[in-house]
Structure 1
Amino acid sequence: MKNLFLSAAIVLGGLTSFASTSPISNTIVKTVTIQDDYTEIKVVEVPVAVTDALKKAYPDAVLTKAYKNTKSEYKLEVTVGDKVGSLYANADGTWIKK
């Protein structure tokens, strides 16, 4: 008789764990993008090394706008034919992948 009560208690105890609801937890992931602040400069202020590198790599490119950040990196907005894009370069004319 004791075994019957003990077995019933174990079975009922096991069923209650399945019947309980687990608390809902929302995980929020925030993505923070830090960009270097570029300030617009005149196209004539771009170093000669950068303009020479642009002419060598993209002979048909037209430099429309130029930007500079605090690390002396340049963001160049160029037009090649009907395509518009941005290129990044150091002051010595080496290209930066971004």
Structure 2
Amino acid sequence: MKKLILSVAIVLGGLSMHAGTTDETNQSVVKFQDDYKEVDAVPAAIKTSLDNEYPGVKLEKAYVNAKKEYKIEISVRDVKSVVYTDVQGKILKK
């Protein structure tokens, strides 16, 4: 009888853990065009800066906005990422 009561207590305790409230709000991520336009070439200062910061870097795509900030898609040893720089090559955000 003790085993039966103990089993019921364990089962009910396990069920109460799953009875908590869940917040199932659907959050949608909205991507917007951030006014960057694709360019074919970047200034030499940016190439030098990226070579110094990321040895073995390969530039995939480059974009520029009205403030002359560059959004550059790079890959280093098959790892892709996006780097933001200014026209002098100073890295703004990795």
Normalising by the smaller structure, the TM-score range is 0.5 to 0.7
* 2:58 equivalent in structure 1: 62
**Aligned CA distance change for structure 1 residues 72 and 59 (closer, same or farther; 3 Å):** same
Structure 1 residue ranges without an equivalent (≥5)? 1-31
Paired residues, number: 66
CA deviations on 1:76-96 (whole Å, 9 max, x unpaired) are 100111211100000011111
* 1:36 equivalent in structure 2: 34
Structure 2 residue ranges without an equivalent (≥5)? 1-29
TM-score normalised per structure 2: 0.62
CA deviations on 1:44-91 (whole Å, 9 max, x unpaired) are x20111110001001111001100000000011001112111000000
* 2:82 equivalent in structure 1: 86
**Aligned CA distance change for structure 1 residues 52 and 35 (closer, same or farther; 3 Å):** same
TM-score normalised per structure 1: 0.60
* 2:46 equivalent in structure 1: 50
Q: Indicate the RMSD between aligned Cα atoms, in angstroms.
A: 2.1
Query: Secondary structure of the equivalent of 1:70?
Result: coil
1 CA distance for matches of 2:48 and 2:68? Answer: 17
AA aligned to 2:84 is Y
Flag the structure with larger Rg: 1
1 CA distance for matches of 2:81 and 2:31? Answer: 21
1 CA distance for matches of 2:37 and 2:31? Answer: 18
Q: CA deviation at 1:97?
A: 2.1
